[in-house]
Amino acid sequence: MSHGTVELPVRQNQSTATSVLTGEQEMTDGPLIVQSDKTMLLEVDHPDSAACRKAIAPFSELERAPEHIHTYRLTPLGLWNARAAGHDAESVIDTLIRYSRYTVSNSLLIDIAETMSRYGRLQINSDPVNGLILQALDVAVLEEVLKSKKVAPLLGTRIDETTVVVHSSERGHLKQALVKLGWPAEDVAGYVDGERHAISLKTDWDAREYQTQAADGFWHGGSGVVVLPCGAGKTLVGALAMYQAQATTLILVTNTVSARQWRDELLKRTTLTPDEIGEYSGAKKEIRPITIATYQVMTTKRQGIYTHLEVFDSRDWGLIIYDEVHLLPAPIFRFTADIQSRRRLGLTATLVREDGRESDVFSLIGPKRYDAPWKEIENQGYIAPADCVEVRVTMPEPDRMAYAVAEQEDKYRMAASAAEKIEIVEQLVHKHEGEQILVIGQFLDQLAELGEHLGAPVITGATSVKERERLYHAFRSGEVNLLVVSKVANFSIDLPEATVAIQVSGSFGSRQEEAQRLGRILRPKFDGRTAHFYSVVTRDTLDADFAQHRQRFLAEQGYSYRIIDSAELAPGV
């Protein structure tokens, strides 16, 4: 069975990866079934499944991950991110044909090439006479977008057939609007250098190859997002970017603890002094050449006004770094749309956003510039191997009946906080006695009860920053080997000694949360030991449904995921 020759339409000045697809597609015993509805089925037990998963990861998204067949989907945003990261349509098509068990649909191959060719048919550029301009490599596309009521107000005078002036303040808003129309613009207008500030790297450490590649990919792209596993040194990628910029830098982080860890890492890795680094948080309001601000303080309102967003204008920043960019709050998006002339670096372990605003990250921060699979970094020895296990417990019949008749909004809390989980956690803690263990959950009363049963300190949002830092330090030093923590520990907390994480409840199936929690235990271990990630889940409830959603992230990164019954956890096993 074959397609023969597939002719792709070539428009005026269109730059496509390939204008003609030729050759025979041979039937193979590949692990992938590519379907015309843009879904792809990967046979997990196939000997080539790992290689296939790695090959399709740059341009596809995992949707479902049960035991034997994983479902991926091709989306325009995924293909555009791949295109911006240097993958062309020809390489994507070759990958699908190489691993597909059956002949890939002719129309799908054409659609992939056409979709990827849409990126860059419009370009935002700078002109010495007219300032910011929108240039079209395809006149028909320009005519199409000019008809849009969302785009027209963002543009000025038509210069010629292929060029129109862009209002300088609308650079970000224009990119957002064009993505929504399906014509993502390539932004090559350049960036202001910002206020210069000398930054050198200390000579007592060497960046890992992938960290250098990530920083270079960002710098040559101008702005964009770097995706790396927790524990793989995203902060160091930020430091490398700052070294390349040699300019004042604003760093936005999730919380005060994260801000101080960034500060400590920069002092350790660069020649920056404490006086050059300012903290802008609830506790301090320092603006210095390198300023680290929290999302929380930046989005604090007074009388309906975001008073602290003025930090963006407080200096002539040469670089803005967004840590955990998948958590970027909406007000920061709005302001970022107005500062498109500044270089912007987003750092994250996953591009998945639970609010579905991935296209805004793409438009306003920039496309994906570098993405390293977790297992690849693990194979290089830079993050620990992980054993991921779901332990299922059963509600007693009276509780099961109460759950069955409960209001929908109460069901998840009831299932996630099931009392039977406490005994399982105690057994797991006993099993890993002597190791550094984190027990992680969502509900404060559940965490308080666990802390009491385990005789362990509990860290929540109500715990002062000073007390959190004291307990984290005690954990790192080994003085404390068990902590019960809420979601405040999901983000940017550096606990390299943690070898076991026990998750008792989470945020409604959040894949981004799963990435952060797994990341808490993936820092490489000095003795090379395997990390253990347990999820304790109540079967036949929403708890189990949400757990299935969360495990997609683990499967996406190539981790095996075992499900066992709580009865298999006999004490001492």
* 239-266: pLDDT as tens digits: 999 999 999 999 999 888 889 989 999 9
- Predicted pLDDT of residue 486: 86
**Tens of pLDDT, residues 320-347:** 999 988 778 888 888 888 888 899 999 9
What is the CATH topology of the domain spanning 378-568? Rossmann fold (3.40.50)
Of the candidates 471, 473, 466, the one whose C-alpha atom is nearest the C-alpha of residue 451 is 471
Beta-bridge partner residues of 232: none
Q: What is the largest CA-CA distance in the chain?
A: 77
> What is the arithmetic mean of pLDDT over 553-568?
73
Which residue carries 């691993």 as its tokens? 99
Residue 98: pLDDT over 90: yes
**Tens of pLDDT, residues 405-435:** 999 888 888 988 999 999 999 999 999 998 8
> What is the arithmetic mean of pLDDT over 126-154?
93
Number of residues written out for the chain = 573
Q: Are 138 and 121 in contact (CB under 8 A)?
A: yes
- Predicted pLDDT of residue 27: 62
- Predicted pLDDT of residue 379: 77
Q: Which residues contact 43 (CB under 8 A, 6 or more apart)?
A: 31, 32, 33, 49, 68, 69
- Looking at per-residue pLDDT, the higher value among 552 and 275 belongs to 275
- Predicted pLDDT of residue 77: 92
**Tens of pLDDT, residues 519-543:** 655 665 556 678 888 989 999 888 8
Give CA–CA dist 214/227, Å, rounded: 9
- Predicted pLDDT of residue 179: 94
Same fold, 209-372 and 378-568: yes
Query: What is the average pLDDT value for the chain, to the nearest integer?
Result: 85
> What is the arithmetic mean of pLDDT over 215-229?
90
- Predicted pLDDT of residue 9: 38
- Predicted pLDDT of residue 517: 59
Residue 553: pLDDT over 70: no
The lowest-confidence range among 56-70, 95-109, 466-480 is 56-70
* 468: three-class secondary structure by DSSP: helix
Q: Are 145 and 136 in contact (CB under 8 A)?
A: no
Give CA–CA dist 252/348, Å, rounded: 12
- Predicted pLDDT of residue 450: 95
Which residue carries 């903290």 as its tokens? 279
Q: Map out the domains of the chain as residue ranges.
A: 6-118, 122-187, 209-372, 378-568
Give CA–CA dist 397/313, Å, rounded: 60
CATH superfamily of 209-372: P-loop containing nucleotide triphosphate hydrolases (3.40.50.300)
